[in-house]
Amino acid sequence: MFLENTANLTKRLGWIEVICGSMFSGKTEELIRRLNRARIAKQRVEIFKPEIDKRYDEINVVSHNENSIRSIPVQSSSQILMFIEGCDVIGIDEAQFLDADLPAVCNYIANQGIRVIVAGLDMDFQGNPFGPIPAIMSAAEYVTKVHAICMRCGDLAHYSHRTVQGDKLVMLGEKESYEPLCRKCYLDQKVGWAD
Ligand code: ZN
């Protein structure tokens, strides 16, 4: 389990944390857990998510266990900067859908003394690095990779396999369209992989 860095708070340094993994790996639950703990510590918290993610709710970050938390929808990374005044902690969910400015924006916020927690998919359904997540992982002090359970064999899964046709990178409605798979099961289902 990730433990917050509480050492030497007098220096008032910010930092960046990344929570990444496949679909159904508990990224949002872990983000909410950390943000709720910050709130218990009486810190001022704001949460953002890209406007594209409208699966469940316009203004709430909603995880699969329906443990929800209010969030501000943004169309670009730089819009987050309009809301950081007076914040102690910034959370960003579904960050894979944000633009390439995200690492610079997060570095700027952390440099102001704010803790930044970014959650997002590290790979798309084809197994390629997803959006700004690889770059923000490079910039982060702490990276936590969480795992789902493979729907076919029960091992740890880190692939988000799309179970319906379509090449579009962004396709929402994930419960019907994706399943988490381990490396072996992901390779096994790839058509023609073995030939
Ligand atoms: Zn498997």
CB 48 within 8 A of CB 74: yes
Does the domain at residues 11-146 carry the CATH identifier 3.40.50.300?
yes
| pLDDT tens digits, 128-162 | 999 999 999 999 999 999 999 999 999 999 999 99
DSSP E strands, the chain: 15-21, 45-50, 60-62, 68-70, 72-74, 89-92, 115-121, 142-146, 148-149, 156-157, 159-162, 178-181
| pLDDT tens digits, 56-105 | 555 556 555 555 678 999 999 999 999 999 999 999 999 999 999 999 99
CB 130 within 8 A of CB 99: no
CA of 52 to the centre of ligand 1 (A): 30
Sequence spans of domains, the chain: 11-146
CA of 181 to the centre of ligand 1 (A): 5
- List residues with catalytic annotation: 94
CA of 111 to the centre of ligand 1 (A): 41
Is 40's pLDDT higher than 50? yes
